[in-house]
Structures are given as C-alpha cells and as structure tokens.
Amino acid sequence: MLKRIAILLLGLGLIVTMTAAVMAADMGNERKGKYLFRKNCRACHQDGQSAPALNPDSKTQAQWERIFEKKKYEDFECAAEWVKLSDSDKADILAYVHGHAFDSPSPAKCK
Ligand code: HEC
C-alpha cells in the first residue's frame, strides 16, 4: 500500500515538473525577447524611422496576447517581417513585451 502511494506521488511530482517546464518554454525568455525586439522591431518602430514608435508599454497585456497568439500581426503592414521570426523568437518577444505592458506590474519603454 505504502509503495503504491509512493509511486503515485512520484508520478504526480513528475507531471507537475513537466507541466512547469512546458509552461516556461511557452512563456519564452524575456531577456532574449528584449534583444530580439530591439533588433527586429525597433529598427522600424522608433521615432525618426518608418513606423510609429513602439514600446512594451504601448499596449496592454491583452492586446499583446491578441497580436501574438491570435496572429493579429498577419494584418499588419509589417507581416512580412514577422514571417522571418521563428515561433520561439515570437514567444521570447511576447514574454518581454507582456512582462512590461501598460497594465503590467512593471510597464517599460524599450531603451
Ligand atoms: C520594416 C519595418 C518594420 C519592422 C521590422 C516591423 N514593423 Fe511593425 N509596422 C511597420 C509599419 C510600416 C506598420 C504600419 C504602421 C501604421 O499603420 O501606422 C507596422 C505596424 C505594426 C503594428 C500595428 C500598429 C500598432 O502600432 O498597433 C504593430 C503592433 C507592429 N507593427 C509591431 C511590430 C513588431 C512587434 C515587430 C517586430 C516583431 C515589427 N512590428 C516589425 C513596420 C515594421
């Protein structure tokens, strides 16, 4: 009986760990996202460039989610730029802008 409970707990622990790992991967890497945002988005989305300045705090978390997860970017003028990004790059950028969105605990401009 005890052995069975031990195996059950071990199994549960494994599931929890794996779920956490999958979710972390899904959220992307914020530090990498900042780098990618500066490199791939700010080239145009900055004062004096071709597109309106864009910062993490330009939008709310829900707006960023809609853009990245519901693929609203496919309607943007810059859709061709997004195609060049891998899914993991997009997840990283989302982690960055979402973490510093207008209604996040730490809204920020991209410096
Ligand atoms: C080659 C230049 C260029 C690049 C690179 C680029 N964009 Fe754009 N983007 C534009 C232009 C031009 C528009 C249209 C602006 C308008 O409608 O006023 C636009 C529109 C947008 C919009 C919709 C307008 C808004 O402000 O809500 C968003 C959001 C956006 N881009 C985000 C991004 C993100 C995030 C990246 C990086 C993954 C990116 N763009 C890369 C040029 C670019």
Q: What is the dihedral of CA 36, 40, 46, 51, to 10 degrees?
A: -140
Query: What's the confidence (pLDDT) of residue 22?
Result: 53
Residue among 39, 45, 46 to mutate when testing ligand 1 (max atoms within 8 A of CB): 45
Domain hosting 90: range is 28-99
Residue 109 belongs to some domain of the structure: no
Residue 89 belongs to some domain of the structure: yes
Q: How many residues does the chain have?
A: 111
CA of 63 to the centre of ligand 1 (A): 14
With a Cβ cut-off of 6 Å, ligand 1 is lined by: 40-41, 43-45, 50-52, 54, 67, 76-78, 81-82, 93
Report d(CA 111, CA 28) in Å as an integer: 20
Nearest ligand 1 atom, CA 97: 35
CA of 88 to the centre of ligand 1 (A): 19
Candidates 70, 110, 84, 88; CA nearest to 28 is 88
The one-letter amino acid code at 52 reads P
CA of 8 to the centre of ligand 1 (A): 50
The CATH number linked to 52 is 1.10.760
pLDDT tens digit sequence for 70-97: 999 999 999 999 999 999 999 999 999 9
Q: Which residue has the tokens 């997009």?
A: 90
Collect all residues with Cβ–Cβ distance below 8 Å to 58 and sequence separation of at least 6: 102
Number of domains composing the chain: 1
Report d(CA 6, CA 29) in Å as an integer: 35
What predicted TM-score, i.e. pTM, was given to this entire model?
0.83
CA of 78 to the centre of ligand 1 (A): 5
Residue 110 belongs to some domain of the structure: no
Residue 6 belongs to some domain of the structure: no
Q: What is the pLDDT along the chain (111 residues), one digit of tens a residue?
A: 777 767 676 766 665 665 565 555 467 999 999 999 999 999 999 999 999 999 999 999 999 999 999 999 999 999 999 999 999 999 999 999 999 999 999 999 998
